[in-house]
Amino acid sequence: MEIKHIYGASLHKLLIYPGEWHTLANFQPVLMKIYYHAGLKQLAQASGFRAETLTSLEKCSNFARTHHFLLQVWQAIYRALIAAFNPTDLTDSEFKLEDTELRTILIDMETFLESKATDQKFKTT
């Protein structure tokens, strides 16, 4: 915005778009409102988040924490999808898990999905 004030009329057609942080800060609450009670809360609990941290995630009051959590969940889901379609890809060097938090979330997510599948199997029989 400051550049438009400095150069005035010569930049009157310049459109200012919000940066990545603004987009994410406005989008996080939407994602968490839709998906928090649809499984994100259980993943957060399985990953070791407790009490105030869960409340912080639900309300998106700590941008960095929520952003980090959503990125880890997305990466874990992406890896689970890759493993479901082609398990041999996980042995390639580009897919090695270096981040222990990501590994924990992936394991927790797999356990959670297996328990849901087991629950679903018992409901249908």
Residue 70 placed within a domain: yes
Question: Nearest-CA neighbor of 75 among 46, 104, 106?
Answer: 106
Range of the domain at 66: 28-124
Entry pTM: 0.55
Residue 12 placed within a domain: no
Measured CA to CA, the distance from residue 115 to residue 125 in angstroms comes to 16
User: Residue 94: its pLDDT value, please?
Assistant: 52
Residue 13 placed within a domain: no
User: Residue 24: its pLDDT value, please?
Assistant: 78
Residue 50 placed within a domain: yes
Measured CA to CA, the distance from residue 37 to residue 22 in angstroms comes to 24
The H-or-E segment that residue 54 falls in is helix 51-59
Q: Into how many domains does the chain fold?
A: 1
User: Residue 114: its pLDDT value, please?
Assistant: 77
For the chain, which residues score pLDDT lower than 70?
1-5, 8, 11-12, 14-20, 86-103, 117, 119-125
Residue 16 placed within a domain: no
User: Residue 93: its pLDDT value, please?
Assistant: 47
